[in-house]
Copies of this chain bind each other. A is one copy, B any other.
Amino acid sequence: MVKNVTFKEAWDGIADCKVCALRESVLFSGLDEDNFEQIHDPIDQYTLPVGSTLYRAGDVGDRMYTIRSGVLKLVQYLPDGSQRIVRLIRATDVTGLECLLGENYKHDAVVLQPTEACSLPVKVVEKLSKENPKLHRELLNRWQRALNEADAWLTELSTGSAKQRVARLLLRLVSDAETSECQLFAREDMGAMLGITTETASRTIAEFKRQSLLVETSSNHFLLDIPNLQRIAED
């Protein structure tokens, strides 16, 4: 199920954070010239194909990752082997924060949509965080953001009927509220996010399509009927 893509294959080179197009919205937004000069370990940049694994639960955590584009799932496993997706990671997010506490990764991080990521050695982040209060505060923000997401998944995506859950997930996936555009995931993944079976996810999506709550514009790209989906979500 999970393809094996080594990092060497995906390596894009060494990032120059100072000229990073995303710098303003990313972890390092608060850094200044001096800070950047203290980055001796290289910050590698990768392009990761769908299905590849960024890190695995239990691995020794020595790197954090900022996502420049794309989507990943964080997966946890139950003793019986079934999987549950506990969060999505998207552009400008940081994942692997647990490294900062010397802990192993808590999830598998698997690519759902083609992803560009920068790999930050823990040592670098630790050092900069000590010297730059802005970066430090930004780290706390990320932690809280992850916590908010986790809570929202529990209350929104694991509560209510299958229809409600799917509707709430779709509304969360809308990238641009104006165009109401949205890319879907494999039904199996949607099930693992919502705590329902693959078949139920499929049936619900299919029904939404028939009701024109969901209109396919191109392969796997959809326009949403936001008002009516909201009605279903809150019903």
Contact = CB atoms under 8 A, between A and B. Distances in A.
Interface residues of A, number: 37
Contacts of A106: 148, 151
A188 interface: no
A97 interface: yes
Interface in A188-202: 195
A101 interface: yes
Nearest to A133: B130
A83 to B, nearest CB: 9
Interface stretch (A2-10, A139-147, A178-186, A208-216): A139-147
A98 B150 contact: no
A50 B126 CA distance: 42
A127 to B, nearest CB: 13
Nearest to A150: B150
A144 B98 contact: yes
A97 B151 contact: no
Contacts of A141: 101
B150 A151 contact: yes
Contacts of A158: 154, 158, 195
A78, A98, A100 interface centre (most CB from chain B within 10 Å)? A78
A16 interface: no
Interface string A140-181: 110110111011011110111000000000000000000000
A79 interface: yes
Nearest to A97: B144
A147 B148 contact: no
Contacts of A195: 158-159, 195
Nearest to A146: B147
Nearest to A160: B78
* Interface core residue of A98, A144, A156, A235 (most chain B CB under 10 Å): A144
A219 interface: no
Contact of A84 (B76, B79, B143, B155): B155
Across the A-B interface, give the 10 residue pairs with the lowest CB-CB distance, nearest first.
Answer: A150-B150, A79-B234, A158-B158, A143-B143, A84-B155, A76-B155, A86-B151, A86-B154, A84-B159, A147-B147
Given A100-B140, A140-B140, 8 more contacts: A78-B234, A80-B234, A86-B151, A106-B151, A140-B143, A154-B158, A158-B158, A195-B195
